């Protein structure tokens, strides 16, 4: 007799759902996807990087290519991005592109920094192969919140202070250095892309005002790591657990980043999409919007891209 993946409770004719099916049902109720296996965890990514430092995210990048017809030479977008383009639990930007039947190819991996995108040039082969409406870039957030961390895990961008003025908790010199770095990376990225395809439009975004607080998934997903990045840094510096103050600190950071993005994009002919005020509190965790907010973000990015392909 063969093995069955459905067990029957003793004394009952009712089958018991497999663990995976039960989790999938719970995920649906929580508006989460339930892919198997769960690749997207910080621990998993660190293990992959340790085993293969030059890992090119082939596992993550294969999805859009499967949607293209053999011999296809014209698609909508080349994509290059981080977890806003590839989140295993949520309907991210690229999922909504798929929903709109937009064809795209490129690279996207959770945790990826803009520095890595510039260095790895994963857009290269796709950009050479296809006529496209634009290159869609989602990057810089991981560089910023991970900028020059101290031994206690806090970025040098944040500093201990007193009082209710959020600006006092930002080290202006460190933030300027971080934004200077991002400006250089965006400029280099643009140059590299347009060496391959001169004049190709590039569409990018900065980030909305995040809410730094404790985020924990409810059972049965509580085995996942909590989705917090900035909040622990503020804890490490002993900053008061005042939500209004902490929101204000992050707002200063995000506003300064958006201002710099707008300036460097204008200087380099990049279309910059300001997403501030889009999420409106609909956060899944500290830096990832919920599905409906991701949908609105995807719509704004698509609307910013020209219709003509080059």
Whole-number Å distance between alpha carbons of 186 and 268 = 9
Reported as a single tens digit per residue, the pLDDT across 255-269 is 999 999 999 999 999
Whole-number Å distance between alpha carbons of 279 and 289 = 6
What proportion of the chain, given as a percentage, has pLDDT over 70? 73
Domain span at 76: 57-304
DSSP, residue by residue, the chain: ----S-EE-TT--SEEPPHHHHHHHHHHHTT----SS---SHHHHHHHHHH-TT---HHHHHHHHTTSPTT--B-SEEEEESTTT--TTS--HHHHHHHTT--EEEEE-TT--HHHHHHH-TTHHHHHH-B-SEEEEE-SHHHHHTTTB-TTS-BTTB----SS-GGGGB-HHHHHHHHHHHHHHHHHHHHHHHHHSTT--EEEE-------S---PPTTSTTSPP--SSHHHHHHTT----HHHHHHHHHHHHHHHHHHHHHHHHHHT-EEE--TTSSTT-BSSSS-B-HHHHHHHHHHHHHHS-SS--
Compute the average pLDDT of residues 49-58: 47
Task: Please check whether residue 16 lies inside any domain of the structure.
Answer: no
Higher pLDDT among residues 161 and 64, named by residue = 161
State the total domains in the chain.
1
Interacting residues of 225 by C-beta distance below 8 A, sequence separation 6+: 41, 42, 43
What is the per-residue pLDDT for 49? Answer: 53
Task: Please check whether residue 6 lies inside any domain of the structure.
Answer: no
Task: Please check whether residue 293 lies inside any domain of the structure.
Answer: yes
Backbone angles phi, psi at 145, to 5 degrees: -75, -15
Contact 88, 146 (CB under 8 A): no
User: Which of 60-64, 87-91, 173-177, 281-285 shows the lowest mean pLDDT across its residues?
Assistant: 60-64
CATH of the domain at 205: 3.40.50.1110
What is the per-residue pLDDT for 11? Answer: 38
What is the per-residue pLDDT for 90? Answer: 87
Compute the average pLDDT of residues 93-98: 92
Compute the average pLDDT of residues 268-274: 98
Residues 288/293/298/300 CA torsion (nearest 10 deg): -120
Higher pLDDT among residues 124 and 1, named by residue = 124
What is the per-residue pLDDT for 108? Answer: 82
Confidence of residue 58 (pLDDT cuts 50, 70, 90): very low
Reported as a single tens digit per residue, the pLDDT across 169-189 is 999 999 999 999 999 999 999
Q: Is it true that the peptide bond before 192 is cis, omega within 30 degrees of 0?
A: no
Confidence of residue 301 (pLDDT cuts 50, 70, 90): very high
pTM exceeding 0.85: no
What is the per-residue pLDDT for 107? Answer: 82
Task: Please check whether residue 15 lies inside any domain of the structure.
Answer: no
Task: Please check whether residue 44 lies inside any domain of the structure.
Answer: no
Reported as a single tens digit per residue, the pLDDT across 186-231 is 999 999 999 999 999 999 999 999 999 988 766 666 655 557 899 9
Whole-number Å distance between alpha carbons of 158 and 237 = 8
Average per-residue pLDDT for the chain: 83
Higher pLDDT among residues 270 and 9, named by residue = 270
What Å distances lie between residue 83 and 41, 95, 175, 268, CA to CA?
Answer: 11, 12, 23, 25
Tokens representing residue 177 in the block: 């250095």
Higher pLDDT among residues 26 and 250, named by residue = 250
What proportion of the chain, given as a percentage, has pLDDT over 90? 61
What Å distances lie between residue 61 and 79, 123, 178, 203, 237, CA to CA?
Answer: 10, 11, 28, 19, 37
């Amino acid at each position: 007799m063969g093995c069955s993946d459905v067990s029957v409770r003793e004394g009952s004719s009712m089958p018991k759902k497999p663990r995976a099916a039960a989790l999938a049902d719970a995920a649906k109720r929580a508006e989460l996807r339930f892919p198997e296996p769960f690749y997207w965890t910080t621990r998993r990514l660190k293990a992959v990087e340790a085993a293969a430092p030059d890992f090119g995210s082939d596992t993550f990048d294969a999805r859009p290519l499967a949607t293209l017809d053999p011999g296809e030479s014209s698609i909508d977008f080349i994509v290059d991005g981080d977890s806003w383009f590839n989140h295993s639990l949520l309907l991210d930007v690229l999922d909504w592109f798929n929903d709109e039947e937009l064809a795209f190819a490129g690279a996207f991996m959770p945790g990826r920094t803009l520095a890595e995108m510039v260095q790895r040039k994963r857009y290269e082969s796709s950009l050479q192969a296809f006529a496209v409406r634009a290159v869609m870039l989602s990057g810089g957030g991981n560089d910023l919140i991970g900028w020059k961390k101290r031994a206690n895990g806090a970025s040098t961008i944040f500093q201990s202070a007193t009082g209710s003025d959020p600006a006092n908790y930002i080290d202006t010199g460190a933030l300027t250095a971080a934004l200077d770095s991002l400006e250089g990376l965006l400029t280099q990225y643009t140059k590299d892309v347009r060496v391959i395809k001169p004049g190709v439009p590039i569409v990018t975004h900065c980030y909305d005002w995040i809410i730094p607080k404790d985020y924990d998934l409810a059972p049965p997903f509580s085995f996942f790591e909590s989705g917090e990045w900035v909040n622990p840094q503020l804890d490490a510096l002993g900053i008061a657990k005042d939500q209004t103050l902490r929101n204000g600190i992050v707002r200063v950071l995000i506003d300064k980043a958006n201002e710099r993005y707008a300036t460097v994009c204008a200087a380099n002919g990049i279309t910059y999409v300001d997403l501030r005020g889009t999420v409106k509190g609909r956060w899944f965790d500290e830096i990832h919007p919920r599905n409906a907010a991701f949908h609105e973000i995807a719509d704004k990015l698509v609307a910013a891209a020209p219709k003509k392909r080059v």
